[in-house]
A and B are shown apart, each in its own frame.
Chain A
Amino acid sequence: KAGVTQTPRYLIKTRGQQVTLSCSPISGHRSVSWYQQTPGQGLQFLFEYFSETQRNKGNFPGRFSGRQFSNSRSEMNVSTLELGDSALYLCASSPGTEGNTIYFGEGSWLTVV
């Protein structure tokens, strides 16, 4: 069974640009969530999508957005990039109900210069 797949793995962007990251969850999983990891703030929840609807949202500015498609694949977008957005962005999937294990992808490493 394939795991959570994230693309691209590494990317470099310039301040002010925008970026889109992609995530394919484990087959059959309907919940996809996104996390940001930085040295200073640790692992922080961005948002969760379930059946194409945003179910939970973390404390991030509106520049961070996401969506989920009917096949459960998800994308997250960051607009007007800032240097502080440099981070490892992690996608996680689960069947969707509470109490299920949440599995993470390898992450997309974003560097903003």
Chain B
Amino acid sequence: DQQVKQNSPSLSVQEGRISILNCDYTNSMFDYFLWYKKYPAEGPTFLISISSIKDKNEDGRFTVFLNKSAKHLSLHIVPSQPGDSAVYFCAANNAGNMLTFGGGTRLMVKP
């Protein structure tokens, strides 16, 4: 049973526009959420995180929103740049440092 799901395998946006990546989870015990960017055969690069006691966290072009009642989080990238093209993973943490990952969304930003 997948506890963290990213239902969109891919997303294509135009440079300068907003990219919105979504993530749903089922385990209400998750209390910390993270977003990572990943290129093939490389390790994930940390982007931004949010604690379950917050509903929004911003860092530059990246904003993460958390809706606990809906068990849903989203990552907004504004403005999108071609260098943002990669696979994005959301991850949830509830015990020590054991992350449960979603399946990833491939973002393509067109110039």
Task: Decide whether A and B assemble into one complex.
Answer: yes
Contacts of B95 in A (CB 8 A): 56, 98
Residue in A42, A48, A50, A90 with the greatest tally of chain B CB atoms within 10 Å: A42
- Within 72-113 of A, Cβ neighbours of B (below 8 Å) are at 88, 90, 92, 94, 96, 98-107, 109
| Chain A interface residue number, banded | 20 to 34
Report how far A44 CA is from B104 CA in the complex, Å. 12
Q: Is A33 an interface residue (CB 8 A)?
A: yes
Report how far A43 CA is from B34 CA in the complex, Å. 14
Q: How many residues of B contact A (CB 8 A)?
A: 25
Report yes or no: B44 in contact with A55, Cβ–Cβ below 8 A. no
| Chain B: minimal CB distance from A49 (Å) | 10
Contacts of A88 in B (CB 8 A): 41
A43 touching B89 in the complex, CB below 8 Å, given contacts A101-B46, A103-B46 = yes
Report how far A42 CA is from B93 CA in the complex, Å. 17
Cβ 8 A contact of A96, one of B42, B45, B97, B99:
B97
Report yes or no: B44 in contact with A94, Cβ–Cβ below 8 A. no
Once A and B bind, how many residue pairs between them come within 8 Å at the CB atom?
73
Report how far A92 CA is from B89 CA in the complex, Å. 15
In chain B, what residue has the closest Cβ to A33?
B97
Report how far A94 CA is from B102 CA in the complex, Å. 20
User: What are some 26 contacts across the A-B interface (CB < 8 A)?
Assistant: A6-B43, A31-B96, A33-B97, A33-B98, A35-B99, A35-B101, A43-B99, A43-B101, A44-B101, A45-B98, A45-B100, A48-B97, A50-B97, A56-B95, A58-B98, A94-B97, A98-B31, A98-B95, A101-B46, A101-B49, A102-B34, A102-B93, A104-B43, A104-B44, A107-B41, A107-B43
Q: Taking beta carbons and an 8 Å cutoff, which residues of B are in contact with A?
A: 31-32, 34, 36, 41-46, 49, 51, 89, 91, 93, 95-104
